[in-house]
């Protein structure tokens, strides 16, 4: 698994909130489940460069700050800022996160087949102009 570094392409063009198009985010109440699912994805053939494990602190330090100015001077037109706020709330409760590259629906479904084997709190897929519940 790859160490998470917020890249400019992972932010919305307008407002700058976290919006990693072509990726999915899944948060888990138990950080061990996030680690386990991340490793299972790699065992099943996904590249380790396409899976990021973010402990709660990494979400709070890297993703949460992207919404501080996203609603300035006008509220966000989409749900990207509200979604980041949901991640922040869960991270404050200790939830860990997987960020996984999912370029199409088939990749997202393969991800969710594994995710559904453990408790998870939120799963979102970022497509062009859409944040989809998984």
Residue 14 maps to a domain: yes
Residue 2 maps to a domain: no
First to last CA, the chain: 22
Q: What is the pLDDT of residues 62-98, one digit of tens each?
A: 999 988 754 454 555 557 788 899 999 999 999 999 9
Q: What is the pTM of this model?
A: 0.88
Query: Tokens 């992207």 sit at which residue?
Result: 66
Report DSSP letters for 48-91, one per residue. Answer: GGGEEEE-HHHIIIIIGGGGTTTTSSS--SSSHHHHHHHHHHHH
Two tokens at 2? 């790859």
Q: Cα 39 vs. chain centroid, distance in angstroms?
A: 16
Looking at per-residue confidence, does 58 or 79 come out higher?
58
Structural domain tally of the chain? 1
Q: What is the pLDDT of residues 118-127, one digit of tens each?
A: 999 999 999 9
> Which residues constitute the domain of residue 25?
8-133
């Amino acid at each position: 698994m790859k160490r998470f570094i917020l890249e400019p392409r992972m932010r919305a063009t307008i407002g700058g909130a976290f919006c990693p198009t072509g990726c999915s985010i899944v948060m888990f109440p138990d950080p061990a489940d996030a680690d386990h699912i991340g490793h299972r994805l790699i065992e099943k053939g996904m590249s380790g460069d396409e899976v990021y494990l973010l402990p709660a602190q990494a979400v709070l330090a890297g993703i949460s700050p992207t919404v501080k100015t996203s609603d300035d001077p006008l509220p966000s037109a989409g749900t990207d800022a509200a979604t980041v706020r949901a991640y922040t709330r869960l991270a404050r409760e200790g939830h860990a996160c997987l960020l996984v590259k999912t370029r199409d629906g088939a990749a997202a479904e393969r991800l969710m087949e594994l995710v559904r084997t453990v408790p998870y709190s939120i799963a979102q897929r970022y497509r062009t102009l859409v944040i989809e519940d998984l």
